[in-house]
């Protein structure tokens, strides 16, 4: 079982539009409504693969009730933490025909001290049967930047393995607790080391620095350029052919799910991560791929990392 923790979930609405023109009336070609948040998406991808998953998340108001309903319909066990004041945030994504995505993310409710403690207790009570605990996304108002570090410490004390997907100070604080794997994208990786990334070699060096800060392994998403896995057993680079990108919403979350489904270690898990991420970008909105959507033959994983390859979108 894979347990996911999403401290700041959302109700996501995605609209497909021909082009985004400021000040104009735009008619959407399609729309979707999905339960959102990085950990929620990981659970959705795990469930789509036919694996058991439990989603721990604070929920409030009508949007929170709808998130729980949508997750239940997808076969995901929900372990909710009721939020008394404020509603679960609603986010909007505008996906243009050329693949450009514009997102509007709401801040979400503020958690009281009692709700924070209940969130930790809920994670602990469901962690005993978990092969992995995936802690993902931004922290809501009320939670200190060290909150993820506390979760990692408690999980390790109970014998669980932790995968962490967050950024900024929350990531840096959590590195001290030595999470088993962290999954930054290129921008988050550059922010963590405090310098730009122009090549795959730059990203590899940054991932190694995150390991020196405490991460036991780093799974770095480099967008269309592929993914890196760096651990104490080696480093690998994975990429996949993608004919057309429809939406990259949740692609990184699908990658993390694929990585954990395949065991969460080594080149085989990296290949699964790349396959899931490549499948996700071919689907609308934040739809998570099923096994039928995967194309393992399009995936290449190698220990011969192309250090001099320039990133398609360098990070400043």
The catalytic position among 131, 225, 253, 293 is 253
Q: Is 121 a catalytic residue?
A: no
**Three-class SS of the chain:** CEEEECCCCEEEEEEEECCCCCCCCCCCCEEEEEEECHHHHHHHHHHHCCCCEEEEEEECHHHHHHHHHHHHHCCCEEEEEECCCCCCEEEEEEEECCCCEEEECCCCCCCCHHHHHHHHHHHHHHCCCCCEEEEECCCCCCCCCCHHHHHHHHHHHCCCCEEEECCHHHHHHHHCCCCCEECCEHHHHHHHHCCCEEEHHHHHHHHHHHHHHCCCEEEEECHHHCEEEEECCEEEEEEECCCCCCCCCCHHHHHHHHHHHCCCCHHHHHHHHHHHHHHHCCCCCCCCCCHHHCCHHHEEEECCCCCCCEEEEEEC
Contact yes or no for 220/203 (Cβ under 8 A): yes
Q: Measure the CA–CA gap between 152 and 147, rounded to whole angstroms.
A: 9
Task: List residues with catalytic annotation.
Answer: 253
């Amino acid at each position: 079982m894979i347990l996911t923790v999403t401290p700041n979930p959302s109700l996501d609405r995605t609209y497909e539009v021909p082009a985004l023109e400021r000040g104009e009336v735009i008619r959407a070609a399609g729309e979707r409504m999905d339960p959102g948040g990085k950990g929620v998406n990981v659970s959705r991808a795990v469930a789509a693969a036919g694996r058991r998953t439990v989603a721990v998340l604070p929920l409030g108001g009508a949007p929170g009730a709808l998130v729980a309903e949508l997750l239940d319909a997808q076969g995901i066990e929900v372990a909710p933490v009721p939020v008394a004041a404020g509603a679960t945030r609603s986010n909007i994504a505008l996906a243009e025909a050329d693949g450009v995505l514009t997102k509007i993310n709401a801040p979400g409710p503020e958690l009281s001290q009692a709700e924070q403690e209940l969130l930790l207790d809920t994670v602990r009570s469901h962690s005993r049967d978990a092969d992995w605990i995936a802690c993902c996304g931004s922290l809501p108002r009320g939670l200190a930047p060290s909150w993820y570090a506390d979760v990692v410490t408690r999980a390790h004390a109970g014998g669980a393995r932790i995968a962490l997907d967050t950024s900024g100070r929350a990531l840096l604080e959590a590195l001290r607790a030595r999470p088993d794997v962290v999954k930054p994208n290129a921008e988050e990786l550059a922010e963590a080391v405090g310098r730009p990334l122009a090549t795959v070699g730059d990203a590899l060096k940054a991932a190694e620095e995150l390991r020196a800060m405490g991460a036991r392994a780093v799974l770095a998403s480099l967008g269309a350029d592929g993914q890196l896995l760096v651990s104490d057993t080696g480093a690998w680079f994975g990429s996949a052919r993608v004919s057309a990108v429809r939406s990259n919403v949740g692609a990184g979350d699908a990658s993390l799910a694929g990585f954990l489904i395949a065991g969460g270690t080594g080149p085989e898990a990296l290949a699964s991560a790349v396959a899931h991420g490549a499948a996700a970008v071919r689907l609308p909105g934040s739809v998570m791929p099923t096994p039928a959507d995967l194309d393992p033959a399009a995936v290449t994983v190698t220990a011969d990392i192309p250090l001099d390859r320039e990133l398609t979108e360098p990070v400043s």
